[in-house]
């Protein structure tokens, strides 16, 4: 069967040029350079909104070490393994066992003219990824190719150059190129996730790679810090901390760790940045009960966004910034509401369940994820922005809270107590492929996915 077997396709992408720009490398920053090494074929678009999307059987043999040497041989295996694991994380690819290969995985053919595609179609592989590794001193060059085995066509081929330490970035860049060609979006491979890690009665903000790798502390307050929120460019992280004895709002520039503190009377919690602007919304209680205010990135109040009996908290913006969803008790129990910023009209979104909180707006703009208590347990649900087509994504696995969409809208991070302690998990937007993201000492909660790629 061809690639279109059992999948929904929407459009074709235009082939990009095959120009060969000059090689550029900044040694201090160890930046890599990428260039297409041949004309790229047009390829069909996979509709990731299809809940019945079948995983694509994909073969990733070991890459070819063209420079020789023990180090080059180790890199050829590592890079192939990293690429396979990275694609598998998306939930779209079924990575095939190398023991099933008819071709020799230790001496792979990497060029289309040398590949016997029947060896791959016979074992059911619909996509084939080949690569070469050339190591010279501390400089690394990789050439990576994606083939449609049934059409015997090259889909995409790229060459990456940089220092050896860039090897993971090279693989993630190519995986992003693959996702761009197959889905129209570069995916999640250069994004990060902020979360809270608790040890005893202390809670600090951490960040990690999209797949849970490289966890690192952002705050060292020796207190309670909660509710991390990324700015649109990934350069700032806002959060709430009790360092001064009450919940104040902190705005940190990640590059140099400089912080602004908003310490008005009362509570300052649940920040949410306005898409494309250096502004954020947050719940504040200096005027009485908690209401949502719009602030500048320096913490200056612009105006008040909600005014009602009962608390209003947990704002989340639509991708265009024209709508604001939030949680309110104005009807007696916590429910999710949506405000149109132009008309100032407010409407109730959720009606099922008496406890609906923590809304997170999809980057696609079509759905909102939230946590809901409907049978004694908290579970993750999604609903469209008109209040129709509710979908329950978790069930009978502890309490599941704090959903956060990946920047391409294909995945949702959340916290769960299904294994006892609260941990961070990831699933597809339809609730499939649920798995733990990482494990650190103590408990982890409040995940927040960065928008787009960030180099911080």
Tell me how far apart the alpha carbons of residues 41 and 148 are, in angstroms, rounded to a whole number.
10
Helical packing angle, 167-183 and 70-89, nearest 10°: 40
Domain 192-449, CATH homologous superfamily name and number:
TolB, C-terminal domain (2.120.10.30)
DSSP string across 84-138:
HHHHHHTTSEEEPPGGG-SS-TTS---SGGG--HHHHHTTT-SEEEEEEEEEETT
Do residues 39 and 18 lie in contact, with contact meaning Cβ atoms separated by under 8 Å?
Answer: yes
Dihedral pair phi/psi, residue 81, rounded to 5°: -65, -45
Q: Is the dihedral of CA 61, 64, 70, 74 positive or negative?
A: negative
**Domain edges within the chain:** 9-183, 192-449
Do the strands 139-148 and 127-136 form a parallel or antiparallel pair, or are they unpaired? antiparallel
Tell me how far apart the alpha carbons of residues 306 and 60 are, in angstroms, rounded to a whole number.
53
| Range 9-183: architecture per CATH | 3-Layer(aba) Sandwich (3.40)
Q: Nearest Cα to 31, choosing from 159, 171, 169? A: 169
Tell me how far apart the alpha carbons of residues 51 and 402 are, in angstroms, rounded to a whole number.
22
- pLDDT tens, position by position, for the chain (456 residues)? 333 333 332 323 233 333 333 333 343 333 445 556 554 444 454 666 666 678 999 999 999 999 888 888 899 999 999 999 999 999 999 999 999 999 887 777 888 778 999 999 999 999 999 999 999 999 999 999 999 999 999 999 999 999 999 999 999 999 999 999 998 889 999 999 999 999 999 999 999 999 999 999 999 999 999 999 999 999 999 999 999 999 999 999 999 999 999 999 999 999 999 999 999 999 999 988 899 999 999 999 999 999 988 899 999 999 999 999 999 999 999 999 999 999 999 999 999 988 999 999 999 999 999 999 988 899 999 999 999 999 999 999 999 999 999 999 999 999 999 999 999 999 999 999 999 999 999 999 999 999 866 444
The predicted model scores a pTM of 0.88
The CA R_g of the chain, rounded to the nearest whole Å, is 24
């Amino acid at each position: 069967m061809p690639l279109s077997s059992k999948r929904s396709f929407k459009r074709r992408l235009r082939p990009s040029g095959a120009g060969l720009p000059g090689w550029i490398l900044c040694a201090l920053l160890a930046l890599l350079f990428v260039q297409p090494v041949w004309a790229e074929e047009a390829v069909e678009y996979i509709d990731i909104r299809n809940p019945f999307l079948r995983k694509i059987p994909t073969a990733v043999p070991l890459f070819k070490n063209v420079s020789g040497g023990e180090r080059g041989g180790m890199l050829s295996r590592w890079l192939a393994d990293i690429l396979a694991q990275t694609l598998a994380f998306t939930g779209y690819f079924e990575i095939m066992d190398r023991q099933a290969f008819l071709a020799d995985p230790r001496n792979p053919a990497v060029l289309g003219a040398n590949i016997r595609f029947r060896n791959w179609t016979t074992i059911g592989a619909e996509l084939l990824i080949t690569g070469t590794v050339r190591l010279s001193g501390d400089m690394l060059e990789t050439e990576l190719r994606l083939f449609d085995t049934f059409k015997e066509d090259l889909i995409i081929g790229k060459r990456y150059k940089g220092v050896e330490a860039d090897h993971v970035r090279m693989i993630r860049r190519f995986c992003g190129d693959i996702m761009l060609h197959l889905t129209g979006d570069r995916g999640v491979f250069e994004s990060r996730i902020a979360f809270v890690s608790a040890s005893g009665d202390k809670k600090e903000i951490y960040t990690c790679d999209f797949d849970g790798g490289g966890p690192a502390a952002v705050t060292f307050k020796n207190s309670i810090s909660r509710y991390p929120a990324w700015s649109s460019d990934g350069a700032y992280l806002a959060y709430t901390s009790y360092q001064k004895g009450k919940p104040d709002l902190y705005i940190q520039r990640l590059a140099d760790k400089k912080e602004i503190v908003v310490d008005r009377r009362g509570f300052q919690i649940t920040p949410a940045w306005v898409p494309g602007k250096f502004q954020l919304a947050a719940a504040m209680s200096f005027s009485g009960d908690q209401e949502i205010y719009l602030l500048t990135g320096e913490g200056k109040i612009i105006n008040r966004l909600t005014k009602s009996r009962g608390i209003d908290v947990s704002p989340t913006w639509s991708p265009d910034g024209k709508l604001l969803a939030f949680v309110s008790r104005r009807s007696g129990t916590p429910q999710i509401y949506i405000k149109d910023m132009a008309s100032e009209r407010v409407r109730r979104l959720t009606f099922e369940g008496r406890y609906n909180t923590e809304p997170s707006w999809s980057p696609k703009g079509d759905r909102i994820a939230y946590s809901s208590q409907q049978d004694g347990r908290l579970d993750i649900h999604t609903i469209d922005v008109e209040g129709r087509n509710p979908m329950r994504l978790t069930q009978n696995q502890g309490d599941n809270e704090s959903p956060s969409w990946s920047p391409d809208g294909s995945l949702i991070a959340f916290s769960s107590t299904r294994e006892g302690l609260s941990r961070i998990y990831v699933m597809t937007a339809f609730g499939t492929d649920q798995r733990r993201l990482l494990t650190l000492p103590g408990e982890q909660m409040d995940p927040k996915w960065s928008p787009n790629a960030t180099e911080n």
